[in-house]
Chain A
Amino acid sequence: RKEVEQDPGPFNVPEGATVAFNCTYSNSASQSFFWYRQDCRKEPKLLMSVYSSGNEDGRFTAQLNRASQYISLLIRDSKLSDSATYLCVVNMYTGRRALTFGSGTRLQVQP
């Protein structure tokens, strides 16, 4: 099982739609969680941290489910500019003691 697993997609949605991605992680002791966004041929950029109680930033909502070991990202009212790859990032607290990136979920918002 991969340490951090995401559905690669692509998710093709119309403008204005609501879309959600999940990401599962293998280490129950993981403490830190983030969502990053990566545009084609660009660097990953922090979208939002994920807090235990869930958190919202405008149209974006992130949630953590420790019991089932997954985090989620919900995007409401999708814009064309939301088209990108969304990377789930987890601090695995393994011997490597560093953040582990998922392989990403690709979102394509269509007009």
Chain B
Amino acid sequence: DAGVIQSPRHEVTEMGQEVTLRCKPISGHNSLFWYRQTMMRGLELLIYFNNNVPIDDSGMPEDRFSAKMPNASFSTLKIQPSEPRDSAVYFCASSQQGVNQPQHFGDGTRLSIL
């Protein structure tokens, strides 16, 4: 079975550029989560969707971050404009039936903003 698929695996770009991260959840999972992980702050939940609807985006750092889920099989996390402090590993995860179920993570996108 295909797991959660994220792209790109690595992204290096200059500050001020727009960055778009992509995620395809496991088929049949109706909850999708975006996380950011750094050494200093650990794993932080940015936003999560249930049935394609954003449920909680209180973890989104600021207006430069936005996330969409246009359908059950695709989500994007966009940073515009990007800043060096956005450098981190961004994980997407999905689960069945909401937050009580264990989440399955993608391989992550390693983002470096120069």
Binds A, one of B15-23, B66-74, B77-85, B100-108: B100-108
Once the chains bind, are A44 and B55 in contact (CB under 8 Å)? no
Q: Nearest-CB distance from B33 to chain A (Å)?
A: 7
Contact between A98 and B48, CB atoms less than 8 A apart: yes
Known: A43-B91, A43-B108. A49 touches B102 (CB 8 A): yes
Cβ of A32 within 8 Å of any chain B Cβ, yes or no, is yes
Identify B99's interface contact among A91, A101, A102, CB under 8 A.
A91
Q: Give Cα A34 to B56, complex, Å.
A: 21
Interface: B43 (CB within 8 A) = yes
Contact assessment for A97 and B107 in the assembled complex, using a CB-CB cutoff below 8 Å? no
Within the complex, what minimum Cβ distance (angstroms) separates B47 from chain A? Answer: 10
Pick from B58, B59, B103, B107: contact of A99, CB under 8 Å:
B103
How many whole Å from A62's CB to the nearest CB in chain B?
13
- Which residues of B17-70 have CB atoms within 8 Å of chain A's CB atoms? 33, 42-43, 45, 48, 55-56, 58-59
Q: Are A46 and B102 in contact (CB under 8 A)?
A: yes
| Interface size, A (range) | 20 to 34
- Min Cβ gap B98→A in Å is 8
Contact of A96 among B42, B58, B106 (CB under 8 A): B58
Query: Which residues from chain B contact A44 at a C-beta distance below 8 Å?
Result: 43, 91, 105
Binding site for B on A (CB under 8 A): 31-32, 34, 42-46, 49, 87, 91, 95-104
**19 other contacts beyond A44-B43, A97-B56, A97-B99, with CB at 8 A cut-off?**
A31-B100, A43-B105, A43-B106, A43-B107, A43-B108, A44-B91, A44-B105, A46-B102, A46-B103, A46-B104, A91-B99, A91-B100, A95-B58, A96-B45, A98-B56, A98-B99, A99-B103, A103-B43, A104-B42
20 intermolecular pairs with C-beta atoms under 8 Å apart: A31-B100, A32-B99, A34-B102, A42-B107, A43-B105, A43-B108, A44-B91, A46-B102, A46-B104, A91-B99, A95-B56, A96-B45, A96-B58, A96-B59, A97-B55, A98-B33, A98-B48, A99-B45, A101-B43, A103-B43
